[in-house]
Amino acid sequence: MDFKKHQGYDNGFNGYNTDYTHYMSQLTLVGSKTVTNLVTSLSSEGHPVTCIIYTIMLPWAADVARHLGIPSVLYWIQPATVFSIYYRYFHGHDGLIDSHKDDPSFQVKLPNLPPLEIQDLPSFLLSPNDVIYSFVFKTIEQLFGVFDREEAKPTVLVNTFDALEVDALTSVEEVEMIGIGPDLFEHGTEGYMEWLDSKPPSSVVYVSFGTLAVLQEKQMEEISKGLELSGRDFLWVVNKMQRREVLLNERGMFVNWCNQMEVLSHPSIGCFVTHCGWNSTVESLVSGVPTVRSGRRKHWRRWAKEGHLIGT
């Protein structure tokens, strides 16, 4: 299946060197045309599309579906609790939150959610004028505007499960949230599973900071030194460009990507060094792997302490 490239973005998104507003406008323009043509073509070939599933950064896909008369469903990759926070912010609670952004301990009470402090809220709501955050903030704002244009009750597939967020999944009456659990789609293994098979139980440290993280050189050096001093074998997900900043260590294996759920379920994994993104949090919880947190996800720790998640 071929998709047209953005004009001027033949090599894709280029991080800090990219004009976010222009990039997203091109993505919306080209993406809308491409998806419309694809759906029309499939229908003419006797394979009508009956539903379009889209993710957080593609709100325009819902408008395309509406224009074509096809139902659309959002696939929300963050917690149901975070979805509810965003929904309340963009539906009448923005003033309360904005007026107390400089008071991290101020307690916010949102409908059907436990009391939260300002510092527990998603960072995109607290720094909307930041270069990177403003781009994401505007896109999320557009996303929640989609729900207001829907005639029927919107449906959202959430990367969580009922036993973990039973109250959060029903916290927004205007939206039907369905917990579907972690993504179990199978990918290639690049040989890392065979490598894990050769290691003793609970002996390998798994390191991953998400697909978007770009660590500073000093951070890379410190992490690699720590792994070396641990004397443990490790599997580290890091792109090739950053591997040159890592001290070579014969005990480790580096991959660009891995099936994280499969890795965490492997008996050789004894520890997970993580940024505590939501996917990593849920998957480590499901797999029962101890974690070492690195990053700014203070709300995970607080929610765990207060019983909203499981933590030690």
As a whole number of angstroms, the distance between CA 213 and CA 235 comes to 17
pLDDT tens-digit profile of 181-227? 766 655 555 689 999 999 999 999 999 987 666 677 788 888 888 88
Give the lowest-confidence range in 58-72, 131-145, 235-249, 295-309. 295-309
As a whole number of angstroms, the distance between CA 258 and CA 193 comes to 9
> Tokens 């599997």 identify what position?
235
In this predicted structure, what is the pLDDT of residue 254?
87
**Confidence check: pLDDT of 69 > 80:** yes
pLDDT tens-digit profile of 103-158? 999 999 999 999 999 998 998 888 867 766 777 888 899 999 999 988 889 999 99
> Tokens 């996917």 identify what position?
279
Q: What is the mean pLDDT of residues 239-245?
A: 62
Q: Domain 192-305 adopts which CATH fold?
A: Rossmann fold (3.40.50)
What own/partner pairs with CB < 8 Å and gap ≥ 24 does 146-154 have? 146/59, 146/62, 146/63, 146/74, 147/87, 147/174, 147/175, 149/63, 149/66, 150/62, 150/66, 152/71, 154/74
CB 275 within 8 A of CB 297: yes
Q: Domain 76-179 adopts which CATH fold?
A: Rossmann fold (3.40.50)
Distance between terminal CA atoms of the chain?
Answer: 46
**Confidence check: pLDDT of 171 > 60:** yes
**Confidence check: pLDDT of 65 > 50:** yes
Domain with CATH 3.40.50.2000 in the chain: 76-179, 192-305
**Confidence check: pLDDT of 101 > 60:** yes
φ/ψ of 245, rounded to 5, equals -90, 0
Chain-centroid distance of CA 85 in Å reads 16
In this predicted structure, what is the pLDDT of residue 312?
41
- pTM metric for this prediction: 0.68
